[in-house]
């Protein structure tokens, strides 16, 4: 009999369950690639709706990787269930982001210390005023150490988690465009998941972090190909996995 609960989104297929730390890329195929590339003795632990989840060992530490899907509703569901029903303590989003600062280049890493957002996610918590979603400081500091150890070019600061991928900017003056406003406030890059992850982690007394590789540059129009992204994401994966190891040993 399976000792783990079954939810509409996760049905654990193996007694190994989930590690204390779960890496969450958006793409199920990327979760499969991470597991096959980096994890020893990996097993498939979830495949509900084709959302691949694996648990294995990295440098002797039990670690899991599972897709989050795209957007805050998706990662909100998976992070809620992992935090509250499957004993997960740390979730590290590993994905792509678009730079909105000239000095943050293609393939650089951004470590999201904070995540501003246009989402209404925080309203469910019935808070007065506004809430500032921030990452776990423990995870941030370990990520910085790991980035330096892996020779990565990295930046730490604010990202923007948006509900919108295809924004309608027709007729909006350039100076009033949302990207201009975020850029002038020092926001590093655009992505779509971190804020919900950070708020769920705060609510349940857990730890969340977003590490992204810059895959495109909003200001210059530069883009990376799918193959280039896959190759360049290797450093980000190593950084996130080293964070998982560090947290296991604390």
What amino acid positions are annotated as catalytic residues? 216
CA 74, CA 197: separation in Å to the nearest integer?
A: 10
Which of 229, 225, 216 has its CA nearest to residue 189?
216
SS3 percent helix, strand, coil of the chain, rounded to 5, is: 35, 25, 35
Burial of 131 (0-12, 13-18, 19+ CB in 10 A): middle
**Do 63 and 19 touch, CB atoms closer than 8 A?**
yes
Structure tokens, 190: 């655009």
**Do 85 and 5 touch, CB atoms closer than 8 A?**
yes
CA 109, CA 229: separation in Å to the nearest integer?
A: 12
Which of 64, 53, 65 has its CA nearest to residue 9?
53
Q: What are phi and psi of 164, to 5 degrees?
A: -110, 125
**Do 216 and 131 touch, CB atoms closer than 8 A?**
no
CA 225, CA 115: separation in Å to the nearest integer?
A: 26
Q: What kind and span of H or E run contains 159? A: strand 154-161
């Amino acid at each position: 009999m399976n000792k783990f609960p079954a939810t509409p989104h996760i049905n654990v297929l193996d007694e190994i369950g989930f590690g204390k730390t779960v890496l969450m890329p958006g793409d199920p195929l990327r979760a499969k690639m991470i597991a096959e590339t980096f994890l020893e003795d990996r097993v498939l632990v979830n495949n509900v709706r084709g959302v691949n989840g694996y648990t294995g060992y990295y440098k002797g530490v039990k670690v899991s990787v599972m897709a989050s899907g795209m957007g805050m509703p998706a990662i909100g569901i998976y992070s809620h269930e992992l935090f509250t029903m499957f004993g997960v303590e740390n979730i590290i989003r590993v994905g792509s982001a678009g730079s909105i600062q000239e000095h943050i280049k293609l393939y650089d890493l951004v470590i999201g210390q904070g995540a501003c957002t246009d989402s209404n996610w925080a309203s469910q918590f019935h808070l007065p005023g506004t809430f500032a979603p921030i990452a776990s400081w423990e995870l941030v500091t370990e990520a910085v150490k790991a980035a330096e150890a892996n020779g990565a070019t990295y930046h730490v600061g604010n990202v923007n988690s948006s509900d919108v991928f295809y924004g309608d900017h027709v007729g909006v003056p350039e100076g009033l465009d949302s990207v201009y406003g975020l850029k002038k406030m020092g926001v590093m890059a655009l992505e779509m998941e971190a804020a919900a992850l950070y708020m769920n982690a705060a609510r349940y007394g857990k730890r969340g972090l977003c590490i992204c590789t810059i895959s495109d540059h909003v200001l210059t129009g530069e883009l990376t190909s799918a193959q280039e992204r896959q190759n360049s994401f290797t450093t980000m994966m190593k950084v996130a996995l080293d964070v998982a190891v560090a947290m296991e040993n604390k």
